[in-house]
Structure 1
């Protein structure tokens, strides 16, 4: 699969003086770099970029694509001041016999959209990604509106009276799009949406809903700020517990938005969080309240920072299986150290042997939560189901440790951890047995 990116326009509404729109910086990368890297994540290695306004700056900034692990071909559109249909048509000689993604240089999106799009049955013409949740649209009056009936596009345009979706600026096309543009231009209509309307009349343009995925069209400074907020919000994980959703992510994403501009890798963050966790565990060893309370606060810091490595990996396009493995292994060591040191420190003060039994149960349950998840995903080759469960995720466990440390209730804390974690492990095993 190849990709055609339109980056020829002037982008006057973004009000830039010293930069062209697609080269505007956005969380560590330019807009155009983000489009390229998101598309690369979907397996695309061959790019055609149509340039026009200040096109030399785009070529200088991106080069031949080697540093992104792709190959970039540039196509000059001498008529870039006209409708964007001319920019698409400029690539006809290169792609008229291909099936390709058509993307806008100022539209950000999750790479999973292209993965799903490429897997969709498609007989030809144009698949148009649409958003049917109109409440998500930041600037609806300026959006390209679409009327969709059973995946068929019945009308498209900014000023159509009846609509139930908007065009997201992401397309899967065949060479038919070029013929439609040529016929549309011959009739005095040189915008891409007008060619799509022509295809729709022949039932060769269909809608592909992406309402559950992140995407954003950036046109103005307000759009740019809102896009940053939404992209950071999209970094949440399906596995986030209640503490992560209500507290941790609100802080960690702000930290990550600043770290993304630094030369720091996700793995380096994983190691940093690990050593902070070791520091917290070492404070528990004394058994004295002041050190236990301080350790508890640091534990909550660990819980917050624990999300930053994954967030940076997503923002910097550095996700890897090794990185996920390293993070998981280091987390398990920290979990074990926290419970072991908390148990030992308090036992050293009170001398109650029952603490060891409760601490051992808490440790077994905490590790059991992680182990059952890993074994499920290995055995069933799918993510662990998300649904009703006992709150025993790592963010919840660390929050309980923090509260228990501040309240100086170590025994109660360990007992709660033991009950919650082991009960959740048992619940999982019973449910999974029923499902086969």
Structure 2
């Protein structure tokens, strides 16, 4: 069955009133707008909002707010639920009657687009006439209904009378969540769950088990501010500059401070991405800026280490490994990001791709911290110089083999 392109949202006032879901922000975005944008990211292209106890003026105000949002790219219909199904509006209702299965969602729902997408694409919901629900221990939340259920929405949610016939789609428990915002407590719980769910974005070992433990709490505060992810990326660059300056001093305490600040850049580097995803404002420019800042932080750190080592061990002991590192690092950067862009995309179909994702990561920052604690940053500089040349050679050979394979296959 094809994925649905229409979502019908039933919007009813919570006990605390509509401001709880129309104005109150969860992770930087109002609850209802977050739902619309989340469904859009899951593949929904058209929305029909059926609200209760909102007059025409309020509907117009909130609809305009969504439509003028640069993130919204879909078609939005918004009507009073009772009036929509009245006899004199029958023609309008008929014009919006879906011909394919559609999503039915409560307007106070907070979830993630990956959850919605997995639900819609599940192999278990391949019966066009079936009624499906995202499996949890309670009814409601997210339904996939056949077109014949559209007319029943005038007085119920389209599945109430058939709740015992609903087929529940089971998704992995660790990647499946939704919560209905009914009061301030559930709004706070929704934000916490979104922050925890964000951890599934990470693939690097230290990001998953260390950096995200700290960045999650920092990001929770940052999403409540007007700071943009790009500003956060630039601030992380400033922290990286301070780290390099500390390394350049050449004494033990400054080296230790540089190592700690460098670890802070790794934690902070999670925050700009967290904020972008939580506020639903990721962009290609932001991703490129983040990549540039990450690489400049590395330049600051290694240049600072070279200057610091030169003060304690002389210029030969500093410049020799630094030159090796600069040559190897430049080759690695060229092999990884060119000609296809993206980290290692050229090697995506080879075994080298997983190696790139492991080695070309922030994990090495914690190795630097260990060497700075031990007071042997000069050892790390040599290790990095030899290691970068070795890795660059491995990438060169893998690249040549990939090209040979592609030519022979063609």
What runs of 5+ residues in structure 1 fail to find an aligned partner? 81-89, 132-136, 145-166
Q: Distance in 1 between matches of 2:303 and 2:195?
A: 35
Q: Is the 8 A contact 1:180 1:199 kept in 2?
A: no
Q: Is the 8 A contact 2:50 2:79 kept in 1?
A: yes
Partner of residue 233, structure 1: 196
**1:257 aligned onto 2:217:** no
* TM-score (norm: length of structure 1): 0.72
Distance 1:332 1:100, change over 3 A: same
Partner of residue 104, structure 2: 102
CA deviations over 1:379-430 (Å, ceiling 9, x no partner): 3667999968996453322222233334321122224445666666677788
- Per-residue deviation at 1:112? 3.2
Classify the secondary structure of the residue corresponding to 1:353. helix
- Per-residue deviation at 1:319? 0.9
- More helix per residue: 1 or 2? 2
Q: Distance in 2 between matches of 1:192 and 1:299?
A: 55
**1:193 aligned onto 2:159:** yes
Distance 1:273 1:59, change over 3 A: same
Q: Is the 8 A contact 1:128 1:207 kept in 2?
A: yes
Partner of residue 306, structure 1: 269
Classify the secondary structure of the residue corresponding to 1:236. helix
CA deviations over 1:240-291 (Å, ceiling 9, x no partner): 4332223221222222222212222211211221122123213322323343
Partner of residue 60, structure 1: 61
Partner of residue 317, structure 1: 280
Distance 1:100 1:130, change over 3 A: closer
**1:11 aligned onto 2:19:** no
Q: Distance in 1 between matches of 2:150 and 2:350?
A: 41
Partner of residue 39, structure 2: 39
Task: State which drifts further: 392-401 or 269-278.
Answer: 392-401
* TM-score (norm: length of structure 2): 0.76
Distance 1:292 1:372, change over 3 A: same
Partner of residue 178, structure 2: 216
Partner of residue 278, structure 1: 241
Q: Distance in 1 between matches of 2:33 and 2:122?
A: 26
Q: Is the 8 A contact 2:35 2:107 kept in 1?
A: yes
Q: Distance in 1 between matches of 2:275 and 2:223?
A: 6
Q: Distance in 1 between matches of 2:161 and 2:393?
A: 58
Q: Distance in 2 between matches of 1:269 and 1:58?
A: 35
Q: Distance in 1 between matches of 2:18 and 2:367?
A: 51
**1:347 aligned onto 2:310:** yes
Distance 1:92 1:214, change over 3 A: farther
Classify the secondary structure of the residue corresponding to 2:19. coil
Partner of residue 327, structure 1: 290
Partner of residue 48, structure 2: 48
CA deviations over 1:63-120 (Å, ceiling 9, x no partner): 363222344322212399xxxxxxxxx9665233355332221222222344456667
Q: Distance in 1 between matches of 2:278 and 2:306?
A: 38
What runs of 5+ residues in structure 2 fail to find an aligned partner? 85-91, 406-410
Distance 1:179 1:95, change over 3 A: closer
Task: Work out the number of aligned pairs and report it.
Answer: 381
Q: Distance in 2 between matches of 1:207 and 1:92?
A: 30
- More strand per residue: 1 or 2? 1
**1:75 aligned onto 2:89:** no
Partner of residue 178, structure 1: 150
- Per-residue deviation at 1:52? 0.6
Q: Is the 8 A contact 1:5 1:102 kept in 2?
A: yes
Q: Distance in 2 between matches of 1:400 and 1:390?
A: 17
Partner of residue 26, structure 2: 26
Classify the secondary structure of the residue corresponding to 2:169. strand
Distance 1:360 1:118, change over 3 A: farther
Q: Distance in 2 between matches of 1:384 and 1:401?
A: 27
Partner of residue 124, structure 1: 128
Q: Is the 8 A contact 2:329 2:388 kept in 1?
A: yes
Classify the secondary structure of the residue corresponding to 1:224. helix
Classify the secondary structure of the residue corresponding to 2:238. helix
